[in-house]
Structure 1
Amino acid sequence: MRFKLAAMVGAALVCAAGSAQAAGNAADGLQAMRELNIIVLGDMTANHSIEGKVYVGGNLSGNNGIFGTGNANQGLTPSDRVTLTVGGDATVSNLHINAGSNGGDGAIGPAGATIGGSVSTMNLNAQNATVQVGGAIANTNGSTGSSIQAGGAQSGYLNGNGATVQTNLGTAFTQALTDTLTAETNKLEIDLKALSAALSVITLDDNLSSITMGGQGPIFNVVDSGAGFALFDIDASLLSSNELNFNVFGSPMPIIINVRGTSATWTMNAVGGYNAALNPWIIWNFADATNLSIDRMMHGSILAPYATVTNTGRIEGSLVAAAFNQGAQVHLGTFKGPDFLTAAVPEPATWAMMIMGFGAVGSLVRRRRAAFA
């Protein structure tokens, strides 16, 4: 089953609308969602545990940040990303770095943290961790075999507990670290926004998936129409139903759900087939949203690169947000579906060729019209 050309044209125009979109690589954005449990492009307030790895482009604050606790049943795609990355300051009053189970297949690693700014407190609960801090470091407990480096000074206590500790490494160390983090955050942002924009305009010639309304809410009937994934397009108001159920026909497949609206509130209870087995397969794409509230448990990954996300219900999957106010736990597993983007979303070079082609066609039409006149 082929995608409609209109979808490809629309995606090309979206990507051409701004240089950031045009430079983005949707496939790289999807891979980041496989490797990271949380990606926050701006600031995050942490108040609960997070099973996987976390990337925060801005500042990390809050009262309780426990990262990398793991999950014996679902995990994330292994990578060289450390447990916690923060572009700015990490001022969580209770920050812990762990190395829990990665879906029953080894530990979440490499354990450690990379912080561009300063750290007010940190506890390494995993051995052989690597910690790099651009600014000052305070109130830190190390672990056996770990390495702790800081560009700034030490204050409060710094207990090595078998770790190698270096502080006051200076401007050169700090600048190199912050430059790397700035570049990485910028790439994540343009890639994830390109992914969200591209998914938002995909259509199918004959979409066999459908939604029926039960007594308490929607039932998603998931069918592969021949493209290798299932596709839904809904209004954000549907998320305020009482219950949500899924019927999946055939083998597990990526399920793309485009949610339209600038603001959304999730109040649905998961019932029946909408359960943890779907966590690695669903992407809820909020391409337009600037505010998103999760008030009940939500299965599947959330792609909301422009939104401030607040949760009082548990999230089970990857989360991408512009800012995140955490009020409940975030669990694994991250998206693990196959690479359906090869057919669905052209690569950046292809976008450029398509746009040039559209321009050439337009010029040819204009010349023919002029000649006819």
Structure 2
Amino acid sequence: MKNKFLLSVVVSLSLLTPQVFATTSSVNTAAHVGTYNLILQGDLTTNSDIQGQAFINGNVNMLGQVLEVGAHLPSSPSVDAVTVVGNINASTVRVFNNNNIVYGDESNIGSTTFEGGTTNVRDTDILKTEFNAIWSQAVADSKTFKELTPTSVFDTADNNILKFKNDNSLDLNVFTITTDSLSSNGTFDFLSTPTVPVIINVSGEGVINLTSKPSGSFANFANASNVLWNFYEASTINFNSGSWYGSVLAPGADITLAGGNIDGGIAAKSLDAQSELHNALFTYTPPPSNDVPAPAGLLFMGLGLIFMGYRRFKK
């Protein structure tokens, strides 16, 4: 009998305890694809420009070529248009609107010349620390997003177009799709023009070859800032379909862009691009948690009920 009473105490406390502690979300897309047009853990190889900010933890491999960054950034206040922690192997790095070019060591730049902005040399260890904080947030957000419960569905009933049935009355639309389903359909579109954030979690390990093409309201720069693709387990992604719309969060992937443009930010392991990156950034701030601290009176009432149960047990 005594054990049964103790069990009832534990159960009662377990029912109260979850209400005592408030929970807060750690999601912060502004730390990565909400600020940066490109953020790479490794190397960049490209023959096209990056219209927003870029933070490259690895090397820039563009021997004899020109890297242009920040054409769509404002001139005031000035920002770090391009930051490179590793080596810069390019003929020229050019930024626009007098923004900043940042690198970690004079020995890393070789014969590269810099144009159009203010050059800043910073301690390499400090730059690595800054990058690691941003990168850790990107990895954490990718893991958080993949656990979200889907709020909407998709089908191919409309002329064999993969239709994402978004709902603009929600604060956030969440879809979950496999790479096979995405790649097996020729085109995809939204049910309606997205006016609220959309997260599309894409499962699939290893090498992913994307041949599907966006269409309709999906293929629109104005809508791209509302879309995030979360390739949370891919190791390689080859974009072979031309232009792509929406930011790409793929912290474990080496990405190749064969052609067309990307309207959105990219957070990836490395990038080999023959495509422009357009500065359509995704920023999603979760609403406050519904869990609130339990009033003190409720806690004392629970303890009172436990005490009354104990008195009855003794009688």
* TM-score normalised by L of structure 2: 0.74
Q: Percent identity?
A: 25
Partner Cα separation in structure 1 for residue 88 and residue 192 of structure 2: 42
Deviation at 1:87, TM superposition (A): 0.6
Mapped pair 1:265 → 2:209: yes
Equivalence for 1:314: 261
Out of 258, 281, 297, the position equivalent to 1:334 is 281
Equivalence for 1:302: 248
Partner Cα separation in structure 1 for residue 182 and residue 48 of structure 2: 24
When the two structures are aligned, how many residues end up with a matched partner? Answer: 255
The change in CA–CA distance for 1:94 and 1:80 in structure 2 (over 3 A counts) is closer
| Matching of residues 28-107 of structure 1 within 5 Å | 29-62=29-62, 63-70=65-72, 81-99=79-97
The change in CA–CA distance for 1:95 and 1:311 in structure 2 (over 3 A counts) is same
Equivalence for 2:15: none
Unaligned runs of 5+ in 1: 1-23, 100-109, 134-175, 347-373
Q: Which SS does the other structure have where 1:252 is aligned?
A: coil
CA root-mean-square deviation: 2.5
Larger Rg: 1 or 2?
2
Mapped pair 1:282 → 2:227: yes
Deviation at 1:216, TM superposition (A): 4.3
Deviation at 1:179, TM superposition (A): 1.6
Q: Contact 1:292–1:310 (CA<8 Å) still a contact in 2?
A: yes
Q: Contact 1:239–1:265 (CA<8 Å) still a contact in 2?
A: no
Q: Contact 1:30–1:192 (CA<8 Å) still a contact in 2?
A: no
| Matching of residues 122-137 of structure 1 within 5 Å | 122-125=113-116, 129-133=117-121
Deviation at 1:232, TM superposition (A): 0.2
Deviations 1:223-256 (A, max 9, x none): 1574x1001000012332311111227x710101
Equivalence for 2:112: 121
Q: Contact 1:223–1:230 (CA<8 Å) still a contact in 2?
A: yes
Structure 1 runs of 4+ aligned residues shifted over 3 Å read 78-81, 214-217, 341-344
Mapped pair 1:111 → 2:88: no
Unaligned runs of 5+ in 2: 1-24, 292-315
The change in CA–CA distance for 1:92 and 1:341 in structure 2 (over 3 A counts) is farther
Q: Which SS does the other structure have where 2:90 is aligned?
A: coil
Partner Cα separation in structure 1 for residue 233 and residue 30 of structure 2: 18
Partner Cα separation in structure 2 for residue 294 and residue 82 of structure 1: 28
Deviations 1:312-371 (A, max 9, x none): 2311001010111112111121114x4126449x9xxxxxxxxxxxxxxxxxxxxxxxxx
